[in-house]
C-alpha cells in the first residue's frame, strides 16, 4: 500500500515536470495557428478557434524569413563540415601522433577554455573589418571552425583506438595522411557524428556573434531575424510564434532523430573530466 502511494507520488511529480516542460512549446505551436489578434483576446484561450496557416504564409511571403532559414542552414552546415575536418585532424594528432610540444600545447588549449568568448569579440570585430569579413557569412563561420571542445571530444575518443593498427599501416608503407583518411577517419565516425550534431545545433542557435557580424537584414540568420522582428511586430503574437516554430523545429527534429548520440556526447564530457 505504501509502495503504491510512493509510486503514484513519483509519477505525479514526473508528469507535472513533463507538462511544465512541454507547455511553452504547446502554446507556441497553438498560438502560431491562431488568427491575428486571437492570442490577446479576453478571455484568453489555449487552442485556436479555427486553425490557420496564414501566419506561416506571412513569414515566407511578407517577411522573407525563408531566406533567413536558408542563411541559417548554410552557416550551420558549412561551419559544421569545416569543423569536422579540422577537429578530427587535430584531435587524432593530439591523441596518437608524437610531435614536439604536444602535451604542453594541449594543456594550454584546455586551460584557455575558461576565457569567455566575449573577451575576444570586440578585437575580433575589428580584425574581421580589416579582412572585409563583417556582414558576410564567412565572418560568422570562420571563427567557429576550430572549437576546443571538439578537439577534446575527438582526442578522448581517439585515445582508445589501437596503436597496432596504425603501426601496421606504417609498416605497410602507408603515408600519415593516407592512414588518417582511410583508417582513422572511418573509426572516428561515432564521435564525429556526436560532435557534428553538437556543432550544427550550436551554430543554428547561436545569437550574439551573428548579431554583431551580420548587419544586412538579407544576411540575418533566423535567431537574429527573429529578435529583430519582435521590435516591429511585438503585438503580432501569432506571427512571432510562427517564427519561433520555424526556428526551433529543425534543431528539435535533429535532436529527436539523433538523441542517443547527442546525450552520449554530454556524459562523455562530464565523466572524463
Partner 1 sequence: MSARTGRARREGRAGLAFVAPALGLIVVFFVVPVAAGFLLAATDFDIYAIGDLATARFVGLANFAALLRDPVFWKALLNTFYFVLVGGPLSVAVSLGAAMLLNVRVVRFKGLFRTVYFAPVVTTMVAVATVWRYLYHPRFGLLNQLLGAVGIGGVNWLGDPRWAMPAIILMSVWKNFGYNMIIFVAGLQSIPGTLYEAARVDGAGPWQQFRHITLPALRPMLVFVGIITMIGYFQLFTEPYVLTGGTGGPLNATLSLVMYMYKQGFRWWNIGFGAAVAFVLFLIILAGTLVQLRFQRERE
In the complex, least distance from residue 135 CB atom to partner 1, rounded to whole angstroms: 13
* Spatial separation of the C-alpha atoms in residues 268 and 157, rounded to whole Å: 9
In the complex, least distance from residue 238 CB atom to partner 1, rounded to whole angstroms: 10
User: Closer to partner 1 at the Cβ: 137 or 204?
Assistant: 204
Query: Over 25-60, what HEC string results?
Result: HHHHHHHHCCCCCHHHCCCCCCCCCCCCCHHHHHHH
Contact status, residue 191 vs residue 259, Cβ threshold 8 Å = no
Q: Which of 69, 87, 88, 85 is nearest to 204 (CA)?
A: 69
In the complex, least distance from residue 273 CB atom to partner 1, rounded to whole angstroms: 5
User: Closer to partner 1 at the Cβ: 64 or 149?
Assistant: 149
In the complex, least distance from residue 137 CB atom to partner 1, rounded to whole angstroms: 15
- Count Cβ neighbours within 10 Å for each residue of 228-245 and write b for 16 or more, e otherwise: ebeeeeeebbbbbbbbbb
User: Closer to partner 1 at the Cβ: 186 or 231?
Assistant: 231
* Spatial separation of the C-alpha atoms in residues 64 and 58, rounded to whole Å: 8
Amino acid at each position: 500500500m505504501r509502495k503504491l502511494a510512493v509510486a503514484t507520488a513519483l509519477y505525479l511529480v514526473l508528469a507535472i515536470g513533463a507538462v511544465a516542460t512541454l507547455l511553452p512549446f504547446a502554446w507556441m505551436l497553438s498560438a502560431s495557428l491562431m488568427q491575428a489578434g486571437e492570442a490577446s483576446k479576453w478571455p484568453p484561450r489555449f487552442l485556436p478557434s479555427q486553425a490557420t496557416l496564414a501566419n506561416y504564409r506571412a513569414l515566407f511571403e511578407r517577411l522573407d524569413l525563408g531566406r533567413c532559414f536558408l542563411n541559417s542552414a548554410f552557416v550551420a552546415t558549412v561551419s559544421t563540415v569545416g569543423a569536422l575536418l579540422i577537429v578530427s585532424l587535430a584531435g587524432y594528432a593530439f591523441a596518437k601522433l608524437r610531435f614536439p610540444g604536444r602535451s604542453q600545447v594541449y594543456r594550454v588549449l584546455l586551460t584557455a577554455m575558461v576565457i569567455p568568448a566575449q573577451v575576444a569579440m570586440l578585437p575580433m570585430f575589428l580584425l574581421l573589418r580589416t579582412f572585409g569579413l563583417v556582414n558576410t557569412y564567412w565572418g560568422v563561420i570562420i571563427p567557429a571552425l576550430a572549437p576546443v571542445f571538439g578537439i577534446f571530444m575527438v582526442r578522448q575518443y581517439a585515445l582508445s583506438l589501437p596503436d597496432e593498427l596504425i603501426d601496421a599501416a606504417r609498416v605497410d608503407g602507408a603515408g600519415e595522411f593516407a592512414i588518417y583518411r582511410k583508417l582513422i577517419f572511418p573509426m572516428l565516425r561515432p564521435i564525429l557524428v556526436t560532435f557534428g550534431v553538437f556543432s550544427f545545433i550550436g551554430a543554428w542557435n547561436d545569437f550574439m556573434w551573428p548579431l554583431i557580424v551580420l548587419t544586412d537584414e538579407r544576411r540575418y540568420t533566423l535567431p537574429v531575424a527573429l529578435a529583430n522582428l519582435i521590435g516591429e511586430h511585438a503585438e503580432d503574437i501569432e506571427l512571432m510564434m510562427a517564427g519561433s516554430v520555424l526556428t526551433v523545429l529543425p534543431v528539435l527534429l535533429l535532436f529527436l532523430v539523433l538523441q542517443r548520440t547527442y546525450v552520449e556526447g554530454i556524459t562523455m564530457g562530464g565523466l572524463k573530466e
